[in-house]
Amino acid sequence: MLKERALRHYEDDCGCAACILLACGEEYGKDISSDCLKSCESFCGGLGVGSLCGALLGSLMAIGIFCEDISTDKLIFMDKFNSRLGSMLCSKLRTSDGCGHIIEISCDILSELIDKDRKK
């Protein structure tokens, strides 16, 4: 399952954006390049300044790779993410326990969107 894969990578010190993208590649059978994963490092910690959540940004990257209707799916993702978590900002979402809960919710929403597109 997507969220279990992502959480395993996160627990192995993979950043929030990269763990989601890497898990999607594994789950849905696409090779994610090391350069692409390295680019995710700049997203951690809300772009390093508590801004947009890295898990959100990694999920949007995954939508660009794995979804058919990118324009609609990214809006659906952001709406559900914000509704479930109450913010899109790392500074408001991250807890002292880290980002595991954010990654779980992101993966739940993301797998729903990707699975829907794969059934078309």
Q: For residue range 17-76, list pLDDT tens digits in order.
A: 999 999 999 999 999 999 999 999 999 888 989 899 999 999 999 999 999 999 999 999
Q: Which of 52, 51, 44 is nearest to 17 (CA)?
A: 44
Domain span holding position 9: 2-118
Say how many domains are in the chain.
Answer: 1
pTM of the complete model beyond 0.85:
yes
Hey, what are 66's tokens?
Answer: 């794995």
Conformation bin of residue 86: beta by default, left when phi > 0, alpha when psi is -120 to 50: left
Task: With H, G, I as helix, E, B as strand and everything else as coil, classify residue 21.
Answer: helix
Residue 118 scores a pLDDT above 80: no
Band (pLDDT 50/70/90 cuts) for residue 117 is confident
Cα end-to-end span (Å), the chain = 20
